[in-house]
Homo-oligomer: A and B are copies of this chain.
């Protein structure tokens, strides 16, 4: 019998077709339930019921609930990276301003077309705690996501394209506005994604560039 204590990450031989398909199915239903019922409402029983399987089967494919929830985060990130990668194939932006614009448009487009997945991730990230009560995805963790933005800002400031500001505060602000878009889309599914994106791009274009034209 194979170990049912598989931790995602290390490859123990290779997963069966069944195993991979079942994991994907469970993951998708878990995403749906978290998006619909929120973190607190997403019990293993409800996920199993939603997927039409028994609860024990989830335990067979995932080491525990927190393992499943972490897999949600990992999976949606994987999708997001794929989405942004395809978009980026058009070529590298030439200026820091173009890079910021591309960053915003890419992320907002992904959220606009994958609101439920991203909503589920936000739910998990904001609520999942370890046994000692500490947030698993803490400040140190999301500080990592500021890296790409901060590099854009520092490059723009070095070239004189951007005004002087604290790149960390600006990065935090950009991430907050992007993440907030998730709630807008979930709350108002008919929202005009393109119009919202254009507004946000203009907002941060003005926020980052000096008032006097160079």
Binding site for B on A (CB under 8 A): 36-41, 126-127, 129, 133, 135, 138-139, 163, 165-166, 169-170, 172-173, 175-177, 179-180, 183-184, 187-188, 195-196, 199-200, 202-204, 206-209, 211-213
Q: Are A173 and B187 in contact, CB atoms less than 8 angstroms apart? A: no
A199 neighbours in B (Cβ, 8 Å)? 165-166, 169-170
Most B CB atoms within 10 A — which of A163, A166, A175?
A166
Q: Are B173 and A200 in contact, CB atoms less than 8 angstroms apart? A: yes
The answer to whether A183 and B139 touch (CB under 8 A), given A173-B203, A177-B177, is yes
Q: Are A176 and B165 in contact, CB atoms less than 8 angstroms apart? A: no
Q: Taking the nearest CB of chain B, how far is it from the CB of A55, in angstroms? A: 20
Q: Taking the nearest CB of chain B, how far is it from the CB of A97, in angstroms? A: 13
- The listed residue (B163, B170, B203) touching A170 by CB distance below 8 A is B203
Q: What are 21 A-B contacts with C-beta separation under 8 Å?
A: A36-B133, A37-B129, A38-B127, A38-B129, A126-B126, A127-B127, A139-B183, A139-B188, A166-B195, A169-B200, A170-B199, A172-B184, A173-B173, A173-B177, A173-B200, A176-B180, A206-B206, A206-B208, A206-B211, A207-B207, A211-B212
A180 neighbours in B (Cβ, 8 Å)? 172-173, 175-176
Q: Are A39 and B166 in contact, CB atoms less than 8 angstroms apart? A: no
Q: Are B38 and A135 in contact, CB atoms less than 8 angstroms apart? A: yes
Q: Compute how far the CA of A206 lies from the CA of B207 in the bound complex, rounded to whole angstroms.
A: 5
Q: Compute how far the CA of A163 lies from the CA of B209 in the bound complex, rounded to whole angstroms.
A: 15
A138 neighbours in B (Cβ, 8 Å)? 187
Q: Are A40 and B38 in contact, CB atoms less than 8 angstroms apart? A: no
Q: Are A204 and B202 in contact, CB atoms less than 8 angstroms apart? A: no
Q: Are A207 and B203 in contact, CB atoms less than 8 angstroms apart? A: yes
A127 neighbours in B (Cβ, 8 Å)? 38-40, 127
